[in-house]
Structure 1
Amino acid sequence: MKFTSMKSGHSFIGRLAWVLLIYWFSSCDFYAIRTIDHEAHVDSLIDRATVLKFSKGIERSRIYLDSAYARFPDAGIMDYYRKYDFLRGNYHDENFKPDYEKVQSYIDSMFGVLEPGVVRERYKKNYARIYLLRGDLFHHLRRYDEAYSQFFQGKILMESTFDSCQSSQYTSRIAGMNYQEKNYSKAATYYKQAFHEVMTCSNGGNFDDLFVSRQGYLSNIGLCYSKLDLPDSALHYYDQALRFIGENEHKFPNQNNFMAMARAVIYGNQATIYLQQGDLLQAETLLKESIRINRQTGYYNRDAQLSQAKLCELYLTNNRLAMARRELLSLKTSLDTLPHPDALLRWHHVQSQYFEKVHQISQAHYHLKNYLALKEYSDQEKAVFKGMDQALQNLDSQHKIELLSKKEELNRLYLMGAAAILMMALVIAFLIWHSWKRTRKNLLKLAALNQQIIARNTQLQTTLTELERSQQENARLMQIVAHDLRTPIGAISMAVDLLLEDQLRVHKPQYFLKMIKSSSANSLILIDNLLHSNTTISKKEPVELQDFLASCVDMLELKAREKQQSIHLEADEARILVDRQKMWRVISNLIANAIKFSSPESTITVRLKKRVHTVQISVQDRGIGIPASLKANIFDLFTVAKRPGTAGEKSFGMGLAISRQIVEAHQGKLWFESEENQGTTFYVELPI
């Protein structure tokens, strides 16, 4: 195909797009309106029909639903599907009189609702489930070949849905057939597989998948191990099933009856194991509870009949003949109302044992004959299952043949699709090439512009980083200023308070005024120094350390007096070159820390010792000491080793770091010795 211009290329693509769009619309089913479902409304109808089922009977429930749907003209596809599914379940319920013809009729109706191809594809999971329901019906009617066929077709559909919930239903049916064939080991394996599938399924709100199937599979695994004479494994899975019910029943508050029935079935199964182990008391307790629950109207009465038969066997084993007789009569009354072939078989067997114990041999012989006849008939019916493996193999072979046939058809479709894709690829390649020629220059311009933008962004990022660093430095400077100004301003505040309170008995006003003047001068000098440099030594001058330390002690004496503390000074005469203001910050900070971390009424000792080449200043307290865990970080700027003082004073964690920097700027050393709860001594060593 030749294209003379870009315009003709776009025209072809446009026509192709319209063809695809028209095809898509034509493939949309005309059932779109019918697929609008009314889930909440149908829920309410089914809830009402369920109440009528148990109070007025199945027919009354059906009449109500038919009438309600007659006034429901907008019902969607799934609305009808759910109606037929509910009625199917009604007529298949063994607690009522089953009507399998009606079950078949409603299953056919479910097929009819989903029969149109487009609808069937949209509801593939529901369509696959109908095959399983029909297979269950044929299985119950002992039409096993047809049941296998339905299960097989359902399996094929389920495989295409990738839904493990649906897959678990097929797996559980295989497990059930193996169980009936008495292949209990293989049945347990399939039930475990079904449990794994249903536990990983994505169906978020289906009660059957989220609860019924999960607890049922656990219980059935236990039943298989019980048949394999592995009682510990069986009890383990029964306990798992009961624990699962207990942990999840709160999620389904409207399903209390089902929870009770599920527990009752498990109790009956556990009792069988305890009977085998000779624990008759535990077995009797479980059987009575199982019978009490499932004997109620609307509950699983057939399971109660089996539990009654087991209880009769227990009474006979324990030679409680009167109780065995009473339970046998009760069971017979129940069987007359609700026939149950398995329970009837066990009833005849227990009856024969009972009459043998009471020495009524003729009655025992009569019931034994009936038991053997029913057992032979039951065994003949179950013998049909012997060909199950071969039937499944045949169906699997058929499935493989169908898959090969479909694969061949798909290959043809793929070949046609590949040709169409190749043609489209050529068209797209031409359009791309044409567009590339036209946009190449634009791309080059865009690349140059991109480089300019990247360079500008780099420049802006650098500027932003510098601004952030400057901001951090300013914040740090403010914290240091705030910390170092606390001591002189605090001294001024205390001196003013004493002047205002007229406490002049110890000192004259001039003493406090000199202190205020000295502290104010120190504050101004400190501010000036901090604005230019935090710890850099500006100038050194000769300082008489004895007088210098005395002035530091005097300034902080009032602060110590507030905590009933005293400061004791012991000083040799020494004169060295230091930056007076910087060193004042160091000594004041050490004495202020000693006051902060000392107990009331304690003494703080300040010593000055002159040596050959150095002087050593120490500040010793008898306070709370420094814990070992904090010692390594005590000189860090903004250290985490911060604690409140003994009177709750706030700690900023910067003073010691600044002090060490100042001392080291004088070529000196600052260190400490401390024991927790014993006190701390800080040492400053400076060269003469």
Structure 2
Amino acid sequence: MRIGLILSIACLVVLDACTPAREHGQDHPGYVVPVERAVDSLVTIGQMSRGKAVLDSVYRALENPGTGDRYELLARLNYIYGAILHDNTMASLYADSMMLVIKEDVDAYPEQWAHSLFSKGDALLGLKNYGEAFEFYYQGRRFVQQRADSCGMSQFTNRLAGLRYKQGRYRDAVGYYKEAVLEHGYCTDRTDFYKYFAEGQGQVNSVGICYERMNVMDTALYYYNLALNFIKEREPFFTDPRHRDFIEQAKGVIYGNLGGVYLHLKDYGNAESYLKEGIRLNDRPDHPIRDAQLTKEKLASLFIETERYREADELLRDLRRSLDTIPNREAELRWRKRRWIYYDRTAPNGPLAYAALLNYLQLKDSVDAAQRELFRVDFVPEFRLLDQEYQVALLSKEDEQKTMFLWVAIVILSMSIVIGLLVWYDLRRSRKHVAKLTRLNRTIREQNIQLHRTLEALEQSQEDNTRMMKIVAHDLRSPVGGIDMIAATLLHEGGHTDDHRGMLQLIRTTSTATLELIGQLLHVHGKKENLKLDPVNLHMLLQYCVDVARFRANDKGQQLILETVPVVMMLDRERIWRVLSNLIGNAIKFSPDGSAITIRMMSESGAALIEVEDNGIGIPDSIKDRIFDMFTDAKRPGTSGEESFGLGLAISKQIVEAHGGRLWFESSVDRGTVFRVQLPGPIMEISSTAEHDA
């Protein structure tokens, strides 16, 4: 039932991992970590194949997993094979893969890189390849030291302590464990449960174990209680159910150790209480059963010493079944010893006691042989040698750098000599040209002065010509206007022959075009300093322009649509009227009969935007860049043969730019054109005066 629950939780996480809300290439700890906990539980109870299947399915479900995701998969497999199954060959291969994944991104994953080096050392140590193991330990230590990471150093020191412990050098191990505890004091990140909590309580607990092995029971009790206090102080910071579960497991381990010390001190009451509590907490499939196995052996020893043989026999049988399912070499050795003692107490000198003794001694000899081989290993000289090799490599590298710097200095010196000679030669040649360059510079300066005077004369001439043109245009406007009025009156009276009416219509058309040309000439070269700025209601000005232009639009059956908002700005009313009238007139001129022309105005970002949109003949790409030129050759007749002079848009652009605005257009042939005028603010509040002036 428990296995099914774990698999169900894992499957739910797999389904959740398939949702499309994730970013590609990112790490997904929220998906991965819960499944890894479930996989640990499966492997712990011997379900290795199921555990791997769940783990593989999760990572297959992740689309484009991040570097951290791939590392976590490999690290979890390394832990399973190394710490749980004790298959150091596979653990070593997964450690290699861990380093390969992180190698190109060490700066982003420094802790993972250090952990992969230490994990490789652990696997090699298990394979008894001590030289290479120490080399990887050394690389990990150097990496952590270079990053000035005192917290990270505790991992390295903890491993050295563990090695001394395995060698049976408990006094040395205590020193390293205490050093690891001090280094762990620099781990202050409460969001990192493993560093801030798990490592620290484990190191303090390990100090107590070493003192227990040294038979210093009072000190062992002190450190076990210190570990419990460590847990009590820090457990309030962690409320996640997975963290709470680990905390209970850690308490169970320490309770078992306390029970062992009290058993040694013959305090059977406290011993039994702590041992049973430790078994209660950890004798579960999803908890550290191997620790529960050791605690059961201690409780069996208590039952034998207190002559509770039936309970001892039942507990030893239960422990046997557990060891057959989940092997544990240390617990196996203790079980064999305890079974021998049990038979020796209940049936002295009997065949069962003798067989149990032989069984125990056989395994003990094997363990002692391995212990003796490990005892001969001394990492202190190994690290001293690696340090020396590292220093030699540094000196060699410094020597190479110095040699390279020397060659660079020689090359630079040679180049400096060559450059000096070239400079000296060039200086000799340059002196011959100084006088010539001086004369040439004087000539250029004189020509520049002459050009400046000529430019001023041209500007003055242009201003005179413009003034003269405006005077002539102004003087011509009255007589030409009179001609236009007389022609219009005669056409209105009627009674004329067709030839006379044609002549009058021609006179009317020609005079109207001439008046338009004169009006445009009067507004050539509008400058900002010549503007007469007053508050102008653009809404009413546009309405006026549309009303005036509506007569021309009606002649072609066109519809003028006006969409505006109330806007008042400081403008030259007459000139802006000229711009708007010209744009609306052009739209009428170049639009077919019966079409619609839309004039709209809106306020945006403190500016007024006016658009004149038609559905006319459009502007070809070949003349788009010339329509704003004065006297341009890009002029074309209207759809009803109306004449164009090529001045209107040029003058309009000058007027708009004199107001600090912009005039531009968008056009497609046979689809129409949109001219836009943007006039900068500020936009004023509407007043009765402004409305009247408009």
Would you say 1:86 and 2:76 are equivalent positions? yes
Pairwise mapping of residues 6-45 of structure 1 onto structure 2 (< 5 A)?
Answer: 38-39=26-27, 41-45=28-32
- Alpha-carbon distance, 1:129 to partner: 1.6
- Alpha-carbon distance, 1:228 to partner: 2.0
The residue number in structure 1 matching 2:290 is 302
- Alpha-carbon distance, 1:266 to partner: 0.9
- Alpha-carbon distance, 1:120 to partner: 3.3
User: Which of 338, 362, 384 lines up with 1:373 in the alignment?
Assistant: 362
The answer to whether the 8 A contact 2:262-2:270 is kept is yes
Deviations 1:316-374 (A, max 9, x none): 11111111111111111111111212212111212222112222521111111111111
The answer to whether the 8 A contact 2:39-2:52 is kept is no
The residue number in structure 2 matching 1:234 is 220
- Alpha-carbon distance, 1:63 to partner: 4.0
Pairwise mapping of residues 39-438 of structure 1 onto structure 2 (< 5 A)?
Answer: 39=27, 41-51=28-38, 54=41, 57-70=47-60, 72-92=62-82, 94=84, 97=85, 100-116=88-104, 119-201=105-187, 203=189, 205-254=191-240, 255-360=243-348, 361-389=350-378, 391-410=379-398, 413=401
The answer to whether the 8 A contact 1:184-1:224 is kept is yes
What SS does the aligned partner of 2:224 have?
A: helix
Deviations 1:469-496 (A, max 9, x none): xxxxxxxxxxxxxxxxxxxxxxxxxxxx
- Alpha-carbon distance, 1:144 to partner: 3.3
The answer to whether the 8 A contact 1:92-1:100 is kept is yes
Residue 374 of structure 2 aligns to which amino acid in structure 1? F
- Alpha-carbon distance, 1:65 to partner: 4.7
Deviations 1:155-198 (A, max 9, x none): 22222121122211111111111112222111111001001111
* CA distance 1:141–1:260, shift in 2 (3 Å): farther
Distance in 2 (alpha carbons) for counterparts of 1:395 and 1:315: 47
The residue number in structure 2 matching 1:597 is none
- Alpha-carbon distance, 1:49 to partner: 4.5
* CA distance 1:227–1:68, shift in 2 (3 Å): closer
Deviations 1:213-269 (A, max 9, x none): 100010011111112222221111111100111221222223122111111111111
Residue 45 of structure 1 aligns to which amino acid in structure 2? V
What SS does the aligned partner of 2:364 have?
A: helix
Residue 247 of structure 1 aligns to which amino acid in structure 2? E
What SS does the aligned partner of 1:253 have?
A: coil
* CA distance 1:86–1:359, shift in 2 (3 Å): closer
Residue 48 of structure 1 aligns to which amino acid in structure 2? V
The answer to whether the 8 A contact 1:163-1:201 is kept is no
Give the superposed CA RMSD: 3.1
Deviations 1:439-498 (A, max 9, x none): xxxxxxxxxxxxxxxxxxxxxxxxxxxxxxxxxxxxxxxxxxxxxxxxxxxxxxxxxxxx
- Alpha-carbon distance, 1:393 to partner: 0.4
- Alpha-carbon distance, 1:385 to partner: 2.0
- Alpha-carbon distance, 1:90 to partner: 3.7
- Alpha-carbon distance, 1:383 to partner: 0.8
Distance in 2 (alpha carbons) for counterparts of 1:129 and 1:221: 22
Distance in 2 (alpha carbons) for counterparts of 1:193 and 1:84: 30
The answer to whether the 8 A contact 1:134-1:147 is kept is yes
TM norm structure 2: 0.51
Distance in 1 (alpha carbons) for counterparts of 2:70 and 2:332: 39
Aligned residues: 385
What SS does the aligned partner of 2:347 have?
A: coil
The answer to whether the 8 A contact 2:42-2:50 is kept is no
Distance in 2 (alpha carbons) for counterparts of 1:149 and 1:107: 14
What SS does the aligned partner of 2:310 have?
A: helix
What SS does the aligned partner of 1:114 have?
A: helix
What SS does the aligned partner of 1:298 have?
A: coil
* CA distance 1:112–1:276, shift in 2 (3 Å): same
Distance in 1 (alpha carbons) for counterparts of 2:109 and 2:402: 26
Deviations 1:365-388 (A, max 9, x none): 111111111111101001112222
* CA distance 1:332–1:102, shift in 2 (3 Å): same
Distance in 2 (alpha carbons) for counterparts of 1:267 and 1:418: 67
- Alpha-carbon distance, 1:70 to partner: 4.2
* CA distance 1:238–1:365, shift in 2 (3 Å): same
The answer to whether the 8 A contact 1:151-1:170 is kept is yes
* CA distance 1:279–1:45, shift in 2 (3 Å): same
- Alpha-carbon distance, 1:86 to partner: 2.8
The answer to whether the 8 A contact 1:37-1:78 is kept is no
- Alpha-carbon distance, 1:415 to partner: 8.4
Please identify, of 99-108 and 288-297, the stretch whose mean Cα deviation from structure 2 is larger.
Answer: 99-108
- Alpha-carbon distance, 1:394 to partner: 3.0
Distance in 1 (alpha carbons) for counterparts of 2:171 and 2:299: 28
Distance in 2 (alpha carbons) for counterparts of 1:353 and 1:130: 44
Distance in 2 (alpha carbons) for counterparts of 1:99 and 1:182: 23
Distance in 2 (alpha carbons) for counterparts of 1:306 and 1:410: 54
Distance in 2 (alpha carbons) for counterparts of 1:334 and 1:344: 10
The answer to whether the 8 A contact 1:107-1:133 is kept is yes
Distance in 2 (alpha carbons) for counterparts of 1:155 and 1:232: 34
Distance in 2 (alpha carbons) for counterparts of 1:174 and 1:201: 19
What SS does the aligned partner of 2:103 have?
A: coil
The residue number in structure 1 matching 2:687 is none
The answer to whether the 8 A contact 1:163-1:202 is kept is no
The residue number in structure 2 matching 1:682 is none
- Alpha-carbon distance, 1:115 to partner: 3.0
What SS does the aligned partner of 1:388 have?
A: coil
- Alpha-carbon distance, 1:287 to partner: 0.8
